[in-house]
Amino acid sequence: MSLGNYVHRESPIHRMPAGSKVLILVIGGTALFLVPDLLIMITILAATIVLYRVARIPMGIMVAQVRPIVWIFVLIFVFQLFTRDVAFAGMVVSRFVALLLLASLVTLTTPASEMIDAIERRIGWMRVIGVNPAKISLGLSLALRFIPVVAKITSEVREAQRARGLEWSVIAVALPVIIRTLKMADDVANAIDARGYDP
Amino acid sequence: MSTKDIVYIALFAAVTAAVGLFPPFPLPVTGVPISVQSIGPLLAGTILGARRGFLSQLLFVVLVAVGLPLLAGGRGGFGVFLGPSAGYLLAWPLIALFVGYMVERYWRNLTLLKTIAFSLIGALGISNLMGIPWMAALLGLNLVEAAISSLAFVPGDIAKAILASFIAMAVRCSYPIIEREKAPAT
């Protein structure tokens, strides 16, 4: 799947199973809150940057993960500076940056399709609480398939409404799109049932 | 849950994603983007009802979490859930649940005004109830400051609630989804 934030490289981090990466992220992320110490936090931040080197993610992409919310870090830093001290402010911000970079690293090194496979392999237990895992899988794959379809139908309807001068009327575009896609959904559901789908 | 339910759920997760293709406007200072995308949970709730609406938005959140760049502006992945707008995003399934429940409950004598009222409670009430405390906690603001900074969303939210209600009422007339269960086929 080409869609996604995934950056393909050959690295041990890319080869790790998706489930393990998420588990490590959750445990590591929680652990970050247990060490309120500036020095340790900066070490962890440095280690995170090393992990990006190991995953062979270019520096530019790493910086791009943080850039959109740099001003938040500034805001938090200034705020903590006034309420606590420099060491604490530095600790809070470096913890936040480390956390964000770690979370992004998982996303950058795992294709979305692999992540979905990992989810599908782990939802078998849900049968116990009356949820059919096969239906969740069907929902996930259908949603992925529908995104380009909905986008295509939207552009078709806009083209049709342009002929009527209604290209920019939100309702004149949205309504036909919704009704056409609902009809399509009915056809898809009937087609699935007609093929004897019974998970 | 029938195949049709699953297909509808997947469809509205996809519709929410498709709406995200319209570019967002990031707000200065707080950086939470104003986008038309938050109309997704309102449409899902008002058109599909509580259960399917909720699940469709939950599915959308899962797709964002696995790393697909489906949020307006092409954002996605775990990092989003650490950002300032995570509270608003996580409110989407609950908005769809609430709006869907109310619409189903008053389905027989639903009016445009009622639908707008339910949508407003969802888009303004539930959304901010989750979004503001999250933003406040993250930025170290107090709740009042965070609430003031979120005032900029209010006009857009009102517009989206009205728009979603118009669409939902039109769909209710021409291609109702909820009704089929309310009036079992004889």
User: Between A133-162 and B3-19, two packed helices, what is the crossing angle to 10 degrees?
Assistant: 50
Check residue B25 and give its pLDDT: 61
The residues, any chain, with a CB within 8 Å of residue A110's CB and separated by 6 or more, are: A6, A14, A18, A21, B67
Judging contacts by C-beta atoms under 8 Å, the chain B residues touching residue A175 are 167, 170-171
pLDDT digits (tens, 9 = 90+) for B62-90: 999 988 889 887 788 888 888 888 999 99
Q: Which residues of B touch A140 (CB under 8 A)?
A: 10, 59, 62-63
| Sequential DSSP letters for A33-64 | GG---HHHHHHHHHHHHHHHHHTT--HHHHHH
pLDDT digit string (tens) for chain A, length 199 residues: 345 678 899 999 999 999 999 999 989 888 888 877 899 999 999 999 999 999 999 999 999 888 877 887 888 888 888 878 888 888 888 988 998 899 999 999 999 888 888 988 888 888 888 888 889 999 999 999 999 999 999 999 999 999 999 877 888 999 999 999 999 999 999 999 999 887 7
Distance from CA of B185 to the nearest CA of A (A): 16
CA distance B37 to chain A (A): 13
Query: Which chain B residues are within 8 Å of A138, Cβ to Cβ?
Result: 3, 6, 10
Q: Which chain A residue shows the shortest CA-CA distance from B39?
A: A174
| Chain pair A-B, CB pairs under 8 angstroms | 164
The shortest CB-CB distance from B1 to any of A65, A135, A147 is to: A135
Indicate the residue of A76, A110, A143 with minimum beta-carbon distance to B14: A143
For residue A6, the chain B residue with the least C-alpha distance is B67
Chain B closest CA to A67's CA: distance in Å?
A: 12
**What pLDDT sits at residue A5?**
78
pLDDT of residue B182: 61
Q: Looking at chain A, which residue has its C-alpha nearest residue B26?
A: A68
User: Among all residues of chain B, which has the CA nearest to that of A106?
Assistant: B78
One-letter amino acid of A12: P
Q: Does domain B3-181 fall into CATH 1.10.730.10?
A: no
Burial (Cβ within 10 Å: 0-12, 13-18, ≥19) of residue A117 = middle
For residue A53, give how far its alpha carbon lies from the nearest alpha carbon of chain B (Å). Answer: 19
> From the candidates B15, B19, B75, which should be mutated to test the interface with A, based on the most A CB atoms within 10 A?
B15
Which residue among A76, A116, A178 sits closest to B47, beta carbon to beta carbon?
A: A178
Give the residues across from B25 on adjacent strands: B34
Residue pair B20/B33 in contact by the 8 Å Cβ criterion: no
Identify residue B172 by its one-letter amino acid code: R
**Percent of all residues in chain B with a pLDDT value above 90, rounded to a whole number:** 62
More confident position, B23 or A36: A36
**Across the interface, do B139 and A182 touch by the CB < 8 Å criterion?**
no
How high is the pLDDT of residue B1? Answer: 84
**CA atoms within 13 Å, Cβ hemisphere of A194:** 6
Q: What is the pLDDT of residue A1?
A: 36
Query: What is the rounded CA–CA span in Å between residue A114 and residue A55?
Result: 17
B13 neighbors B57 (Cβ within 8 angstroms): yes
Q: Assign B9 a pLDDT band (cuts: 50, 70, 90).
A: very high
Calculate mean pLDDT across residues B15-20. Answer: 92
- CB < 8 Å to B43, chain A: 178
Q: Residue B104 above 60 pLDDT?
A: yes
Mean pLDDT of chain B: 89
Q: Which residue of B has its CA nearest to A152?
A: B18
pLDDT of residue B43: 97
| pLDDT in the model for residue B186 | 47
According to the model, what pLDDT value does residue B23 have?
63
Q: What pLDDT, in 10s, does the model give residues B114-162?
A: 999 999 999 999 999 999 999 888 777 788 888 988 888 898 899 999 9
Contacts made by residues B56-59, CB under 8 angstroms, sequence distance 24+ = B56/B8, B56/B9, B56/B10, B56/B11, B56/B12, B56/B13, B56/B16, B56/B96, B57/B12, B57/B13, B57/B16, B57/B92, B57/B93, B57/B95, B57/B96, B58/B93, B59/A139, B59/A140, B59/A143, B59/B9, B59/B10, B59/B13
Closest residue of chain B to A65, computed from CA coordinates: B79
Distance from CA of A173 to the nearest CA of B (A): 10
Supply the DSSP string of B38-59, one letter for each residue. Answer: GHHHHHHHHHH-HHHHHHHHHH
Task: Answer yes or no: do B18 and A150 touch at CB < 8 A.
Answer: yes
Percent pLDDT > 90 in chain A is 51
